[in-house]
A and B are shown apart, each in its own frame.
Chain A
């Protein structure tokens, strides 16, 4: 304790919060890249809605008006850019998202794992509820229960659901094309492996409510019954 009384000061308080952002790294020709993006969006509409997106422009040399045009093109697709990486402050106009630095690859666990094996797998012993997002890029995720509609699991490895998969499951997100998704009952809203997606509409109705697995056969996603 100090003996002299300091004058009371009202401190401004800041709160930090980190988000996992999708990083877009457009390549030239931009039109071609946008077409690819449109194809992804056609497969899973609204996939990026409400999610933070960061533009990494380090691979490009764009003028200020070209950057503005790119941001506008993304906005037309309901993708809002939160920040821009790989450019100089001076290249950006005043109404544009800020320059970001110091982003890092990360893994996020929204729910506290009950048991975590050292081997890079995550075991969840309770159902994953609507609105919860489990991101575990180090390996496999196993859920002893269901994954609710509006919940999502993102895994670097495979995803195992010993219950009904009603939400989204994204496996092999770090480019692991041999990752698979297994579930006791399939009613998924979206399945993805290494960036290849299928939405609920595309999943064969005859598989619904049955044990199934999803895997990549080249660049085709196969969803087949288990057993």
Chain B
């Protein structure tokens, strides 16, 4: 049974696109057929993080409008043969995305993949509601700060009321993914603690992704962090999260950077 997963947040820049790519690649490395779908029309990003920006010919809106077939728009990853990307359009108006068009595409993708992962745009407007519209599950990406948590709370309310599942009286399975977590800053009380976030959101935790330079390095060379440096702290956290998405019971840890020799030599200045 295919699962449709939306990666959403309300607040911008919290790590949705990074998480879509990392989770998608992690699931694909376990042998599952995965497609990551970019819903951020006009500000597409996922193709860059996936390193596929120079291979985009057709996009989501072309398929919605019937200009291209789904098979023409799907881009297969160069590194993982069961990982695919359905890119967004950088040039077209986001109003071109229609509810009915999204419904048809998602239904079609369900027949071809095990996981359909939708990278939502920020905000609570049409783009975000369409990205979540046909989801079975949701990853709510949250940074450990008040405004992000509050936006996540709002998005959870929308997942419970504005999705097709909610309208049928069913539930979207929700998971909170805390990203950009800096344990040193949390210890100094400069960030919200994990317990505080979970208390406010009253939603199960999928994982804790540490703040890490490895994420930037990976996205700069167009690779999901779980492919680029599988041993890094954020990659390990994403692998654990992917296993939890598959229903495995994995102990929750707060991953820390493994400090290399140079780091230790240079001490704190390396941060």
Binding site for B on A (CB under 8 A): 111-112, 126-132, 145-146, 148-151, 163-164, 166
> Complex Cα distance A127/B158, Å?
12
Within 8 A of A (CB), among B109-166: 124, 146, 150-151, 153-154, 156-158, 160-161
A165 to chain B, nearest CB (A): 12
The 7 A-B residue pairs whose C-beta atoms are closest, nearest first, are A129-B157, A130-B154, A130-B153, A131-B154, A148-B153, A129-B153, A132-B157
Q: List 15 A-B contacts (CB under 8 A).
A: A129-B153, A130-B150, A130-B157, A131-B153, A131-B157, A145-B202, A146-B202, A148-B154, A148-B157, A149-B146, A151-B153, A163-B202, A164-B199, A164-B200, A166-B200
Smallest CB separation, A111 vs chain B (Å): 7
B124 CB to nearest A CB, Å: 8
The answer to whether A126 touches B153 (Cβ under 8 A) is no
Minimum CB–CB distance for B8 against chain A, Å: 13
Chain B nearest CB, measured from A187 CB (Å): 10
* Shortest Cβ distance from A112 into B: residue: B161
Give the secondary structure class of B's interface. Answer: helix
B143 to chain A, nearest CB (A): 15
B200 partner residues in chain A, CB cutoff 8 A? 146, 148-149, 164, 166
Q: How far is the CA of A129 from the CA of B153 in the complex (A)?
A: 6
Decide yes or no: A150 and B161 within 8 Å by CB, A127-B202, A145-B202 being known contacts.
no
* A189 CB to nearest chain B CB (Å): 11
Cα separation A126 to B156 with both chains bound (whole Å): 11
What is the bound-complex CA distance between A145 and B151, given in angstroms? 18
CB-contacts of B186-237 with A (<8 A): 199-200, 202
Q: Give the residues in chain A near B158, CB-CB below 8 Å.
A: 131
Alpha-carbon distance A151/B151, docked complex (angstroms): 11
From A129, A163, A164, B154 is in contact (CB under 8 Å) with A129
Interface bracket on B: 10 to 19
Cβ 8 A contact of A149, one of B150, B157, B160 = B150
Closest to A131 in B: B154
When distances are taken between beta carbons in the complex, the residues of chain B under 8 Å from A112 are: 161
Q: Is the CB of A150 within 8 A of B154?
A: yes
Q: How far is the CA of A37 from the CA of B150 in the complex (A)?
A: 30
Identify which of B154, B157, B160, B200 gathers the most chain A CB atoms within 10 Å of its CB.
B157
**Measured CA separation A141–B124 after assembly (Å):** 27
Measured CA separation A129–B149 after assembly (Å): 11
Please give the distance in Å from B166's CB to the nearest CB on chain A.
9
A148 to B149, CA, bound (A): 10
Q: Write out the residue numbers on chain B whose beta carbons fall within 8 Å of the beta carbon of A163.
A: 202
In the complex, what distance in Å separates the CA atom of A4 from the CA atom of B177?
60
Inter-chain contacts of B160 with A (CB < 8 A): 126, 129
> How close is A119's CB to chain B, nearest CB, in angstroms?
25
Contact A149–B199 (Cβ < 8 Å): no
A166 nearest CB neighbor, chain B only = B200
A127 CB contacts on chain B under 8 angstroms: 202
Shortest distance in angstroms between B141's beta carbon and chain A's nearest beta carbon? 16
Measured between beta carbons, the chain B residues less than 8 angstroms from A145 are 202
Assess whether B199 is in contact with A148, with CB atoms less than 8 Å apart: no
**A98 to B156, alpha carbons, bound, how many Å?**
37
Most buried by A among B150, B153, B199: B153
Whether A150 and B153, one on each chain, are in contact in the complex, defined by CB atoms closer than 8 angstroms, is yes
Separation of A151 and B88 alpha carbons in the complex (Å):
33
Residues of chain A within 8 A of B156, CB atoms compared: 129
**Contact between A149 and B153 (Cβ–Cβ < 8 Å)?**
yes
Q: In the complex, what's the smallest C-beta–C-beta distance from B105 to chain A, in angstroms?
A: 26
Contact residues in B for A126 (Cβ distance below 8 Å): 160
Q: Given the complex, which residues of B lie within 8 Å of A164, measured CB to CB?
A: 199-200
Tell me which residues across on chain A come within 8 A of B124, comparing CB atoms: 131
B151 close to A130 (CB less than 8 A): yes
B202 touches A150 (CB 8 A): no
Output the nearest chain B residue to A127 by Cβ-Cβ distance.
B202
Contact A111 B150 (CB under 8 A): no
Q: A148: which B residues are within 8 A, CB to CB?
A: 150, 153-154, 157, 200
CB distance from B235 to the nearest CB of A (A): 32
- Nearest opposing residue in chain A for B156, CB measure: A129
Distance of A223 Cα from B150 Cα, bound (Å): 25
- B149's nearest neighbour on chain A, judged by CB, is A149
Q: In the docked arrangement, what's the CA distance between A151 and B158, Å? A: 13
Which residue on B lies nearest to A145, using beta carbons? B202
Chain A: CB-nearest residue to B157? A129
